[in-house]
Amino acid sequence: MDAIKLYFKQECKLLMLALEHPKPSDFYISVWQATRSPVPLLIWRALLFLTSIGIVITSVTFYAISSVSLGYWFIYLTHWGLTLMILSTGFGFAVSLRTYISGPLSVDYSLPWYVKTFWVLHNMSVPVAFLITLFYWTILYEAGVSEEMNLGLDVSIHGINSVVMFLLLSSSSHPSRLVHVLHPMLFALTYVAFSLIYYLAGGVDTAGNRYVYPVLYWGSAGKAFLVVVITGLLLIVLHFATIGLAAARDAIANRLIRPSVTVHVDERLALRRPTDNV
């Protein structure tokens, strides 16, 4: 109990809202590594990034070749989540690539902007992906809502997104902080604001209905507001679940991998000699 109290006391400090971390290598070296090379995580993140691009290209292509306007692709939360997935895996890949090319990140000042951007995107994309998957399979699937122009793609996308984000989370080392729940909540509130503005502007879905999702129909404002509140609470729970997964990742890796690794390493030490190939 004392450990739990200490955790919440530490995590709820205003200082934790800052995007700072004393160990920059956690952003480009996997928790599962026994070496300091950025190459393993660079390759892994490249695969996740390419997978994300492939998913989005496939989804957009089906819209482009259908009779439905491509503009409708941008109204769905799933596609916002896919865009977030591309940005998150893309910035993760960029952080690893920059480190491989230019060496370790500096610890003298604040974390670079692109590392902070990756951290925020990661904080958003993981719980949002889980939310989209749960939202689809528990509510939208039974309601017959189709966001894709292909049924198979519609079903698969609402699972692949969570798999990609789970793989990104499980291969990382940087922390997931309690107060960073503000990041996914900000994303969710932005979408809620969009859906309301879209409704007030007379927007419709691909079938001509005055909503994007039937459960978020602002013509019944009370019901829509209730759905927003419940979904927001679920997103908070999923953020906690993300923290739990990150903690489990670290605990397992520390038991299996990290005991063989030197604990106190100079963060500024070169990751490879200039003559090395990798």
Segment 115-136, tens digit of pLDDT: 999 999 999 999 999 999 999 9
pLDDT over threshold 80, residue 220: yes
CA distance 259 to 7: 24
Q: Is 193 domain-assigned? A: yes
pTM, two decimal places: 0.88
Number of domains in the chain: 1
Q: What mean pLDDT comes out for the span 261-277?
A: 50
User: What range defines the domain where residue 127 resides?
Assistant: 24-260
Q: Is 277 domain-assigned? A: no
Q: Is 141 domain-assigned? A: yes
CA distance 150 to 59: 9
Q: Is 270 domain-assigned? A: no
Q: Is 87 domain-assigned? A: yes
Q: Is 273 domain-assigned? A: no
Segment 227-253, tens digit of pLDDT: 999 999 999 999 999 999 999 999 999
For residue 231, the Cα-to-chain-centroid distance in whole angstroms is 17
CA distance 221 to 255: 51
- DSSP per residue over 162-201, as a string? HHHHHHHHHH--S---GGGGHHHHHHHHHHHHHHHHHHHT
Segment 32-78, tens digit of pLDDT: 988 888 999 999 999 999 999 999 999 999 999 999 999 999 999 99
CA distance 176 to 182: 12
8-state DSSP, 206: T
Structure tokens, 130: 């889980």
Most confidently modeled of 152-161, 165-174, 253-262?
A: 165-174
